[in-house]
């Protein structure tokens, strides 16, 4: 049925967005910590915002969702 196919594709896209957000959160966390440690004082202040945003993104999307969806480390 056309309606069920539409909702199935919609849920598949939503799942992709959550998995991609998980990977972006992990990447932001790693880069934020690295640049906060080795960056200058202005860069440390900006990276604090990136780290906080990454924690929020990981709290919403989950830590291992992106690894399972894209089959990374499998």
For residue 41, the model assigns a pLDDT of: 86
Q: Tens of pLDDT along 4-43?
A: 888 999 999 999 999 999 999 999 999 999 999 998 888 9
Q: Where are the domains of the chain?
A: 2-69
For residue 73, the model assigns a pLDDT of: 81
Q: Tens of pLDDT along 47-72?
A: 999 999 999 999 999 999 999 999 98
* 39-66 burial code (b ≥16 CB/10 A, e <16): eeeeeeeebeebbeebeebbeebbeebb
Provide the 10 A C-beta neighbour count for residue 23.
17
> Is residue 1's pLDDT more than 90?
no
Could you give the count of Cα atoms lying within 13 Å of 10 in the half-sphere of its Cβ?
A: 6
């Amino acid at each position: 049925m056309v309606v069920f196919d539409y909702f199935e594709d919609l849920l598949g896209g939503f799942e992709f967005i959550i998995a991609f957000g998980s990977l972006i959160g992990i990447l932001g966390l790693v880069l934020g910590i690295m640049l906060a440690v080795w960056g200058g004082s202005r860069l440390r202040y900006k990276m604090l915002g990136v780290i906080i945003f990454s924690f929020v993104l990981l709290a919403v999307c989950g830590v291992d969702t992106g690894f399972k969806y894209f089959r990374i480390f499998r």
